[in-house]
Structure 1
């Protein structure tokens, strides 16, 4: 018998794969059970409702996404290089097999009208990402408003890459970010 921690991990792994690739609404708890190898009874002991599972999936996805981004960005030497590294990382992410866009945008699009928990998770994720960009922008000595523009470039690249199926929007957004940083160098 697997431990409670291992069962939860298997359920979250299955949920992440299924929710991200197929969408939240079309994936039932039976699908999660089958993919995770955890009995339906145990699954409901861990997550009494699908909504709780969705919240756990989004929390974990948020932490993983932001950690991966920060680990990449922190390898760059200068503040400006760190800002541009955000877009380099986005390109690498967009190039991954199975990339389907931002899980938070997708979840909000599916359930934003009916699930306050999904709305809150999506907003919290975006706020944390925007705050991270604000920190990078401040470190680079740029005006605070530059972070808002960088966030819009990144968000637009995420959505466009998902729809077009190409990572090219990350490079286009990077070029625009570079121009924005150059234009605000003396501001």
Structure 2
């Protein structure tokens, strides 16, 4: 069996992009389980056969949606890197990006957290993709901590701030958790900097 990853082997075709965008809209609004394959086809303006040709199963659509989200995350990190003066600014920039996401009227929580909660116990492949994304979040933060001359284990706390903000924003329907998490990250880095200054 081929191991699924968040890195697609090839780029989506136009039909696949249409299908995954439609699935993303519906899964975000309603969750995965209530949405039927036929619902995605109708929302995409495709026949069921056309949808099945693009993505043969509902699970394949879920994977495609998770890849869309992960791709957006990685593109955001690349953008933050090009607009930040140093690694600590990059770390804080992640929370600013989350604030933008949370402020969007269509935000209903992180697809990986929602997907794992809804499907993770019954679909180990979806659970594995969620775990891959969480590892990627922490790995990137570890890299930034190393570049900022902070111990790598600080990334574990920063990762918890990221994921906690994602969860709380979905519950509250507010962008405030991103600002609170950003303040927590700034305080953590400030305390560490003060201790190493002596």
Band the TM-score falls in, shorter-chain normalisation: over 0.9
Match of 1:84 in 2: 92
1:23 to partner: Cα distance: 0.6
What are structure 2's unaligned runs of at least 5 residues? Answer: 1-11
Instruction: Give the SS at the match of 2:13.
Output: helix
Match of 2:6 in 1: none
CA RMSD of aligned residues (A): 1.4
Which runs of 4 or more aligned residues in structure 1 lie more than 3 Å from their structure 2 counterparts after TM superposition? none
1:66 to partner: Cα distance: 2.1
TM-score, normalised with respect to structure 2: 0.88
Residue 50 of structure 2 is aligned to residue 42 of structure 1: yes
Match of 1:51 in 2: 59
Residue 29 of structure 2 is aligned to residue 11 of structure 1: no
Quick one: which of 127, 141, 154 aligns to 1:119?
Answer: 127
Match of 2:82 in 1: 74
Tell me how far apart the structure 2 counterparts of residues 61 and 157 of structure 1 sit (CA, whole Å).
Answer: 17
Match of 1:157 in 2: 165
Match of 2:70 in 1: 62
Tell me how far apart the structure 2 counterparts of residues 154 and 74 of structure 1 sit (CA, whole Å).
Answer: 20
Residue 117 of structure 2 is aligned to residue 97 of structure 1: no
- 8 Å CA contact 1:108–1:118 kept in 2: the answer is yes
Mean Cα deviation higher: 57-66 or 101-110: 57-66
Match of 2:181 in 1: 173
Tell me how far apart the structure 2 counterparts of residues 17 and 9 of structure 1 sit (CA, whole Å).
Answer: 12
Quick one: which of 116, 139, 153 aligns to 1:108?
Answer: 116
What are structure 1's unaligned runs of at least 5 residues? Answer: none
1:84 to partner: Cα distance: 1.0
Tell me how far apart the structure 2 counterparts of residues 130 and 70 of structure 1 sit (CA, whole Å).
Answer: 15
1:56 to partner: Cα distance: 1.5
1:73 to partner: Cα distance: 4.2
Q: Deviations over 1:134-167 (max 9, x none)?
A: 1111111101111000000111111111100111
Tell me how far apart the structure 1 counterparts of residues 78 and 165 of structure 2 sit (CA, whole Å).
Answer: 18
Tell me how far apart the structure 2 counterparts of residues 80 and 55 of structure 1 sit (CA, whole Å).
Answer: 32
Q: Aligned pairs, how many?
A: 184
TM-score, normalised with respect to structure 1: 0.93
